[in-house]
């Protein structure tokens, strides 16, 4: 069976309430938390941000809960911001990376999950590959909250 969460160009995007659900966002967050922990990036804290799409703030809080449940210091944005703000903030705060809830230019019914590196850039292919490997062995029971 194919994995529901498939990362593509600059993140995972899907239709809200179809495959973009709180359970799946939490799975993606857990897989990403495990990457941040194993790579030691989590030691510098992780930013979590979101845009103005439907329920983006709630999805971001769910991501922050999972990261915190894994013992990661989280800086959760208190309001929506454009994605480049989080890229800059990763560098400015010397954070280990960021997760941004946004589907960018995709249609309004979609939302997304972008991983930013400690350089503020989109996560490189080898990071996405590791996150996807983590996803392949996870189910809801493995999500820390």
Q: Where are the domains of the chain?
A: 12-138
The sheet that has 110-116: what strands, in order across it?
12-15, 110-116, 97-101, 46-50, 74-76
From the options 3.30.70.120, 3.40.50.2300, 3.40.120.10, 3.40.50.720, give the CATH code of 12-138. Answer: 3.40.120.10
56 catalytic per annotation: no
Q: Per DSSP, what are the bridge partners of residue 76? A: 48
Q: Which of 53-57, 124-128, 132-136, 140-144 has the lowest mean pLDDT?
A: 140-144
pLDDT in tens, 49-84: 999 999 999 999 999 999 999 999 999 999 999 999
Q: Among the options 39, 56, 104, 122, which is catalytic?
A: 104
Question: Could you tell me the pTM of the whole model?
Answer: 0.95
CA angle (123, 10, 112) in 5-degree steps: 115
Residue 145, helix vs strand vs coil? coil
What is the pLDDT, as a whole number, of residue 145? 79
Report whether pLDDT(141) > 90: no
């Amino acid at each position: 069976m194919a994995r529901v969460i498939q990362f593509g160009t600059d993140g995972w995007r899907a239709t809200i309430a179809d495959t973009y659900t709180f359970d799946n966002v939490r799975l993606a967050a857990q897989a990403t938390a495990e990457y941040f922990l194993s790579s030691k990036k989590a030691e510098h804290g992780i930013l979590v941000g979101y845009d103005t799409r439907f329920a983006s703030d709630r999805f971001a809080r769910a991501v922050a809960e999972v990261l915190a449940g894994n013992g990661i210091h989280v800086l959760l944005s208190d309001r929506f911001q454009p994605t480049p703000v989080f890229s800059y903030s990763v560098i400015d705060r010397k954070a280990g990376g960021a997760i941004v809830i946004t589907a960018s230019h995709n249609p309004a019914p979609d939302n997304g999950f972008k991983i930013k590196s400690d350089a503020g850039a989109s996560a490189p292919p080898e990071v996405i590959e590791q996150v996807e490997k983590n996803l392949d062995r996870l189910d809801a029971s493995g999500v820390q909250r």
